[in-house]
């Protein structure tokens, strides 16, 4: 008998279901329970960097906005460093006021999700590759989604850096890279990046197997 | 534990595919194009860090964390287990969040209109951070089964939803835990999205009488495995720094 590998199997995923809000953002479910709930405000007033709002919708295969999606974002700070011990980019400072993570639910009426955050800086790439253009990592879960979907949002106004980005460059055909670009919009209350996610259809967003 | 290495490739065969027509909502919400395989960068390897101090003392006690005029109705249970990685090591400081229906099968949620009543003393959610060995535990009442609109007569077996955040964003996982002996388990369209029967079984928590509190609460054990990191034997380091 040959030797045996004793790795464990990852626990299987299951849909987050229609009531994901109860567990992760109870206020949207209709009640408050935690003294310190997690939410969509990622950057505080003192956080360094350009303060922005990210907003968008998540569209299903018929083009209808999904009003029960849970999204989480994870991003580097304005210098391009993650607030995590594995990020050893010692030439970039940490921002104590910035974890870089938040969660938001698409609105039950409008279908919009929003995050209040800052624009991240570029992050070092894998060895031998160019730095990664500023981007926000997005993970989403909901009813009808059997395993969480991972994607990235890039900034349309960073064309030069996007052109060199090792992840965007990999995606074929190039037209699909457009699905990861957020549109910059200047509004009365500040800078908004609009990023719609299409689960299915002609312009299906690029999702990653990370 | 801080991962210094990349995560082991996810074995998609352990998970449900995106499109599972028997669970009808997946039909319009499933990506149809292949996922782009992405070798880990810092963006996947890192993830939010949570501190024990961010949580309240009752956050992991669903019997008390929403108690108003008394305690919730239902069968008192403890659910406990260990969060490990695929290498069998405990994952410390993982954020574990749970939510569930009350004993009658009703959720405290504005969109749930099932006729079973809301329990005024039950919120239905809790959260905790694993200790240095990866262990977690919470106390609750056993959720009830409830109908859902998939087929005309579709019922969900009793279950608790689990959300897990490990050390890296690529480990992010949401799943559901079921209870040993529930006769609805074999008919469930949601559990049935997982093709491998052995994988389905791993979501069924056994009764753990040894962890019960005599004259107080029964207990169930649910161990959870998140992705592990690969050993770096002769590879280049991941980062340039």
**DSSP output for A64-108:** PBPSS-EEEEEE--TTS--SSTT---TTS---TT---EEEEE--T
**Closest-CA residue in chain A for B9?**
A210
Q: Is residue A115 assigned to a domain?
A: yes
Q: What is the pLDDT of residue B240?
A: 43
Q: Where are the alpha helices (DSSP H) in B10-79?
A: 26-29, 42-45
Q: Which of B38, B41, B176 sits opposite A14 (nearest CB)?
A: B176
Residues from chain A contacting residue B192 (CB–CB below 8 Å): none
Which of B5, B36, B45 to mutate against chain A (most A CBs within 10 Å)? B36
What tokens appear for B198 in the block? 């052995």
CATH code, domain carrying A113: 2.60.130.10
Which residue is catalytic, options B107, B136, B178, B220?
A: B107
Which residue is catalytic, options B76, B161, B221, B230?
A: B161
Would you give per-residue pLDDT tens digits along chain B (241 residues)?
445 689 999 999 999 999 999 999 999 999 999 999 999 999 999 999 999 999 999 999 999 999 999 999 999 999 999 999 999 999 999 999 999 999 999 999 999 999 999 999 999 999 999 999 999 999 999 999 999 999 999 999 999 999 999 999 999 999 999 999 999 999 999 999 999 999 999 999 999 999 999 999 999 999 999 999 987 666 555 554 4
Cβ–Cβ under 8 Å, residues B216 and B78: no
Which of A27, A67, A86, A141 to mutate against chain B (most B CBs within 10 Å)? A86
In sign, the C-alpha dihedral spanning A88, A92, A94, A99 is negative
Q: Is residue A5 assigned to a domain?
A: no
Active site residue B156: yes
Q: Is residue A3 assigned to a domain?
A: no
Q: From the CA of A100, how many Å to the nearest CA of chain B? A: 7
Number of domains forming the structure of chain A: 1
Would you give per-residue pLDDT tens digits along chain A (210 residues)?
899 999 999 999 999 999 999 999 999 999 999 999 999 999 999 999 999 999 999 999 999 999 999 999 999 999 999 999 999 999 999 999 999 999 999 999 999 999 999 999 999 999 889 999 999 999 999 999 999 999 999 999 999 999 999 999 999 999 999 999 999 999 999 999 999 999 999 999 999 999
Q: Is residue A209 assigned to a domain?
A: no
Contact B169/A123, CB-based, under 8 Å? no
Residues from chain A contacting residue B31 (CB–CB below 8 Å): 149, 199-200, 204-205, 207
Active site residue B161: yes
Q: Is residue A208 assigned to a domain?
A: no
Q: CA-CA distance, A182 to A194, in Å (whole number)? A: 5
In sign, the C-alpha dihedral spanning A193, B27, B98, B225 is negative
B167 half-sphere exposure, CB direction, 13 A CA radius: 26
Q: Is residue A8 assigned to a domain?
A: no
Q: What is the pLDDT of residue A39?
A: 98
Which residue is catalytic, options B127, B139, B159, B227?
A: B159
Residues from chain A contacting residue B49 (CB–CB below 8 Å): 83-85, 99
Q: From the CA of B40, how many Å to the nearest CA of chain A? A: 7
Closest among A198, A136, A137, A140 to A24, alpha carbons compared: A140
Active site residue B82: no
Question: For residue A70, what are the domain limits?
Answer: 15-198
Q: From the CA of B136, how many Å to the nearest CA of chain A? A: 16
Q: From the CA of A183, how many Å to the nearest CA of chain B? A: 22
* CA dist list (Å): B28 to A60, A130, A150, B110: 6, 37, 18, 23
Q: Is residue A127 assigned to a domain?
A: yes
Residues from chain B contacting residue A64 (CB–CB below 8 Å): 28
The pTM score is 0.97
Q: Which of A20, A29, A66 sits opposite B108 (nearest CB)?
A: A29
Residues from chain B contacting residue A180 (CB–CB below 8 Å): none
Q: CA-CA distance, B71 to B121, in Å (whole number)? A: 6
Q: Which of B28, B35, B239 sits opposite A88 (nearest CB)?
A: B239
Q: CA-CA distance, B237 to B241, in Å (whole number)? A: 9
Residues from chain A contacting residue B238 (CB–CB below 8 Å): 126-127
Q: Is residue A205 assigned to a domain?
A: no
Q: What is the pLDDT of residue B4?
A: 62
Active site residue B114: no
């Amino acid at each position: 008998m040959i030797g045996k590998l004793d790795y464990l199997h990852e626990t299987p995923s299951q849909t987050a279901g229609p009531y994901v809000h109860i567990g992760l953002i109870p206020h949207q479910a209709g009640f408050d329970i935690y003294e310190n709930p997690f939410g969509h405000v990622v950057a505080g007033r003192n956080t360094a960097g350009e303060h922005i709002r990210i907003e968008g919708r998540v569209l299903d295969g018929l083009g209808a906005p999904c009003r029960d999606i849970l999204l989480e974002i994870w991003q580097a700070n304005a210098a391009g460093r993650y607030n995590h011990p594995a990020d050893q980019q010692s030439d970039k400072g940490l921002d104590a006021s910035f974890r870089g993570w938040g969660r938001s639910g698409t609105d039950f009426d409008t279908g919009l999700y929003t995050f209040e955050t800052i624009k991240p800086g570029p992050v070092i790439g894998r060895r031998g590759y160019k730095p990664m253009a500023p981007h926000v990592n997005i993970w989403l879960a909901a009813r009808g989604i059997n395993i969480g979907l991972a994607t990235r949002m890039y900034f349309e106004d960073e064309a030069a850096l996007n052109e060199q980005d090792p992840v965007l460059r990999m995606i074929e055909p190039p037209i699909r890279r457009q699905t990861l670009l957020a549109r910059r919009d200047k509004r009365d209350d500040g800078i908004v990046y609009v990023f719609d996610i299409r689960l299915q259809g002609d312009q299906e967003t690029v999702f990653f197997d990370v | 534990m801080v991962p210094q290495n990349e995560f082991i490739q996810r074995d998609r065969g352990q998970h449900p595919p995106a499109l599972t027509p028997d669970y009808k909502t997946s039909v319009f919400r499933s990506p149809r194009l292949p996922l782009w395989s992405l070798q880990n960068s810092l963006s996947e390897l890192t993830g939010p860090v949570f501190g024990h101090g961010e949580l309240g003392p009752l956050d992991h006690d669903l019997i008390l964390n929403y108690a108003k005029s008394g305690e919730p109705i239902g069968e008192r249970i403890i659910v406990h287990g260990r969060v490990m990685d695929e290498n069998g090591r405990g994952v410390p400081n993982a954020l574990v969040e749970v939510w569930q229906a009350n004993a009658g099968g009703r959720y405290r949620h504005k969109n749930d209109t099932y006729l079973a009543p809301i329990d005024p003393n039950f919120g239905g959610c809790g959260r905790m951070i694993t200790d240095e060995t990866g262990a977690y535990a919470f106390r609750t009442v056993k959720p009830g089964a409830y109908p859902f609109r998939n087929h005309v007569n579709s019922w969900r077996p009793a279950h608790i939803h689990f959300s897990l955040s490990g050390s890296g964003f690529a480990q992010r996982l949401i799943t559901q835990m079921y209870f040993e002996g529930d006769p609805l388990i074999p008919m469930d369209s949601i559990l049935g999205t997982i093709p491998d029967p052995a994988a389905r079984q791993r979501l069924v928590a056994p009764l753990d009488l040894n962890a019960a509190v005599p004259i107080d609460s029964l207990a169930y054990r649910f161990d959870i495995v998140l992705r592990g990191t690969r050993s770096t034997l002769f590879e280049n380091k991941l980062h340039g720094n």
